[in-house]
Amino acid sequence: MPRSSIRFILDGEVVRLDDVDPTRTVLQFLREDLGHAGTKEGCAEGDCGACTVALAELDGDGITLRTVNSCIQFLPTLDGKELITVESLARRGQDLHPVQRAMVEHHGSQCGFCTPGFVMSLFALYKSNDKPARQDIDDALAGNLCRCTGYRPIIAAAEAMYDGGADAADWLRQPCGSRQSVADRVEKLRDIASSEQLETGHAGRCFIAPQSLDAFADAYAAHPDATLLAGGTDVGLWVTKQHREIDTIIYTGRVAELLETRTTATHIEIGGAVTLTSAIPLLVEHYPGLGEMFRRFASPPIRNAGTLGGNVANGSPIGDSMPALMVLGATLVLRQGAVERELALDDFYHDYQVNDLGDGEFVAGIRIPLPAAGDIVSSQKWSKRFDQDISAVCTAYKLRLDGGRVQSFRMACGGLAATIKRAAQCEAVIEGAAWDAQTITAACAALAEDFSPISDMRASADIRLVAVQNLLRRFFLETRGELGETVYTYGR
Ligand code: FAD
Ligand code: FES
Ligand code: FES
């Protein structure tokens, strides 16, 4: 029997909600329904971090704690989790959490609007890393914008937040104001865990959260017009920015099989609902040349919610994971009812926002071949800002050399066409040729045949073309050690 109430923990208590509007956001719930106005709304699109909250989930005998942007998280996705807000750390009259105290002592706040979001990002860092390097701090704060303090005092607070020792490690507010241990929280999360499918809704709109792959496939076959929801980092904005009404949502985030990853003798297999935060380390472990691009993929809260499957299925022409997945020869496991098929990512996109999925068909998994000896793999993201910015151009390469000649070469690009696309003519020039400056010059000319980019707010058509040509030159120089950068060659 499906159940219709969602249950989650907030400040040590179980919150049970019936008839939940499927697209009501966690931020609206906190501010409008509970009057917890500590969590702020800045942009309502996942960009500024003012709305950052943390979610704790059961993970074996412990919990994982991750930040998300509450402005684009739909309320029913909280089911079975613990929600931690800035007010969970300390309320007026209580001792401050060490993160908050460090922010006060180091003058990390002026107008204060961004401060709760920074505190929550630092809180997640505090719980996950007891000796962060400067880059860890920068990366943890990549999704938080401050307009007035400047970042130096906030970084100083991040460095000082450990000064009080480990005393506060489990510090979270309980109703009585006492501290709450991880063991208490695990027990509470176990109490609200349920194996029943959730079906909640309001005013004729519904949110379905199947728990198994078969139930998910059946639900989607029965409602082929439904919107699939994974991390909501694209879908959330359809609601908050485009004001779209969504009648039926089917949520991937509770489907056990879609949340699995595994590495076989030949492949990395990533389930269709695995978050970017979980998928990226697996990919980068085998392909370190993708590390820089993934480091710059959105921000921690977006990567904590957003999935690799959602990035691929959404199919934005400026999506960052797909050029890399394409050059690696990734395939998609697609499922429709009881029928499964495998399709090369190369064949998935037909046109702008048109892909090969049939009615009721979804991405069940992504298979990525493991590297072969001698492969050189890299991906480059070119955007106006280093952190938390959408690419103007994104490229990826897979090269294998035989002496001074190219045995095989693949290149794929985003930001240059209506879909992510291989650079077929450029590849043809390079494959079998000498890996030298003359070949690269000819290949750059071929890129102009491969792509006719458009101008938009991120870059003009001309600049995009020059950028992709220069990125290819850069990759060439990197492989020759002429930029002094690491080149990752496998099995040598
Ligand atoms: P959702 O929003 O839940 O879904 C996206 C689409 O995929 C929907 O059409 C949904 O129906 C469909 N879908 C989801 N799962 C499946 C499935 N298993 N089978 C079939 N269809 C499915 N993207 C980048 O590439 N690079 C960036 O740097 C980047 N930065 C961002 C920064 C911000 C602030 C925001 C808000 C977004 C950013 N994005 C970026 C876009 C977004 O985060 C990614 O596309 C993300 O991977 C989407 O995954 P999701 O799980 O959130 O998808
Ligand atoms: Fe800006 Fe949510 S309000 S990220
Ligand atoms: Fe004002 Fe950061 S303190 S925006």
Who lines ligand 1 at CB under 6 A? 45-47, 227-235, 237, 252, 272, 276, 297-298, 302, 305-307, 309-311, 313-314, 319-320, 362-363, 390
Which CATH number belongs to the domain containing residue 490 in this structure? Answer: 3.30.390.50
Instruction: Tell whether 182 is covered by a domain.
Output: yes
Residue 250 and residue 127 in one domain: no
Instruction: Tell whether 134 is covered by a domain.
Output: yes
DSSP 306-348: -BHHHHHHHT-TT-SHHHHHHHTT-EEEEEETTEEEEEEGGGT
Instruction: Tell whether 301 is covered by a domain.
Output: no
What spacing in Å lies between the alpha carbon of 228 and ligand 2's midpoint?
22
Global pTM value? 0.96
Measuring from atom 2 of ligand 3, which residue has the nearest CA?
A: 146
What spacing in Å lies between the alpha carbon of 200 and ligand 3's midpoint?
38
Ligand lying closest to the C-alpha of residue 305:
1
Taking a C-beta distance cutoff of 8 angstroms, is the pair 233, 273 a contact? Answer: no
Residue 204 and residue 70 in one domain: no
The total number of residues written for the chain in this structure: 492
Residue 102 and residue 29 in one domain: yes
Ligand lying closest to the C-alpha of residue 149:
3
> What is the reported pLDDT for 489?
56
The Cα 283–Cα 397 span in angstroms is 15
Q: What is the pLDDT along the chain (492 residues), one digit of tens a residue?
A: 788 999 999 988 999 999 999 999 999 999 999 999 999 999 999 999 999 999 999 998 888 999 999 999 999 999 999 999 999 887 666 678 889 999 999 999 999 999 999 999 999 999 888 889 999 999 999 999 999 988 999 999 999 998 876 555 445 544 444 556 778 889 999 999 998 999 999 999 999 999 999 999 999 999 999 999 999 999 999 999 999 999 999 999 999 999 999 999 999 999 999 999 999 999 999 999 999 999 999 999 999 999 999 999 999 999 999 999 999 999 999 999 999 999 999 999 999 999 999 999 999 999 999 999 999 999 999 999 888 899 999 999 999 999 999 999 999 999 999 999 999 999 999 999 999 999 999 999 999 999 999 888 889 999 999 999 999 999 999 999 877 655 555 544
What spacing in Å lies between the alpha carbon of 420 and ligand 1's midpoint?
15
Residue 187 and residue 202 in one domain: no
Measuring from atom 4 of ligand 2, which residue has the nearest CA?
A: 46
Who lines ligand 2 at CB under 6 A? 41-44, 46-51, 69, 71
Residue 87 and residue 203 in one domain: no
Q: Among 239, 257, 275, where does a domain finish?
A: 257
- For ligand 2, mutation pick of 31, 71, 388 (most atoms within 8 Å of CB): 71
Ligand lying closest to the C-alpha of residue 151:
3
Q: Which domain holds residue 396?
A: 373-492
Which CATH number belongs to the domain containing residue 167 in this structure? Answer: 3.10.20.30
> What is the reported pLDDT for 184?
82
What spacing in Å lies between the alpha carbon of 103 and ligand 3's midpoint?
12
Instruction: Tell whether 394 is covered by a domain.
Output: yes
What spacing in Å lies between the alpha carbon of 102 and ligand 3's midpoint?
16
Instruction: Tell whether 415 is covered by a domain.
Output: yes
Instruction: Tell whether 448 is covered by a domain.
Output: yes
What spacing in Å lies between the alpha carbon of 272 and ligand 1's midpoint?
12
Place of tokens 């006060």: 104
What spacing in Å lies between the alpha carbon of 68 and ligand 2's midpoint?
10
Residue 61 and residue 90 in one domain: yes
The Cα 367–Cα 417 span in angstroms is 25
- With a 6 Å cutoff on the Cβ, whether 378 touches ligand 3 is no
Q: Among 151, 174, 192, where does a domain finish?
A: 192
Residue 37 and residue 170 in one domain: yes
Ligand lying closest to the C-alpha of residue 293:
1
Ligand 3 atom nearest 118 alpha carbon? 2
Ligand 1 atom nearest 357 alpha carbon? 20
Q: Which of 79, 28, 7, 25 is nearest to 246 (CA)?
A: 25
Beta bridge partners of 412: 396, 422
What spacing in Å lies between the alpha carbon of 124 and ligand 3's midpoint?
20
Residue 414 and residue 479 in one domain: yes
Ligand 1 atom nearest 272 alpha carbon? 18
Residue 134 and residue 245 in one domain: no
- b/e 127-143 (16+ beta carbons within 10 angstroms → b): beeeebeeeebbbbbbb
Q: Which of 475, 22, 463 is nearest to 251 (CA)?
A: 22
Residue 188 and residue 77 in one domain: yes
> What is the reported pLDDT for 426?
98
Residue 109 and residue 231 in one domain: no
Ligand 2 atom nearest 41 alpha carbon? 3
Residue 207 structure tokens: 């949110």
- With a 6 Å cutoff on the Cβ, whether 150 touches ligand 3 is no
Q: Among 156, 172, 192, where does a domain finish?
A: 192
Instruction: Tell whether 447 is covered by a domain.
Output: yes
> What is the reported pLDDT for 307?
98
- With a 6 Å cutoff on the Cβ, whether 147 touches ligand 3 is yes
Q: Which of 211, 206, 273, 185 is nearest to 8 (CA)?
A: 185
Ligand lying closest to the C-alpha of residue 44:
2
Domain count across the chain: 3
Which CATH number belongs to the domain containing residue 203 in this structure? Answer: 3.30.43.10
Burial of 111 (0-12, 13-18, 19+ CB in 10 A): exposed
Q: Count CB-CB contacts under 10 A for residue 60.
A: 7
Measuring from atom 1 of ligand 3, which residue has the nearest CA?
A: 111
What spacing in Å lies between the alpha carbon of 110 and ligand 3's midpoint?
5
Instruction: Tell whether 217 is covered by a domain.
Output: yes
What spacing in Å lies between the alpha carbon of 150 and ligand 3's midpoint?
8
Residue 30 and residue 71 in one domain: yes
What spacing in Å lies between the alpha carbon of 78 and ligand 2's midpoint?
18
Burial of 97 (0-12, 13-18, 19+ CB in 10 A): buried
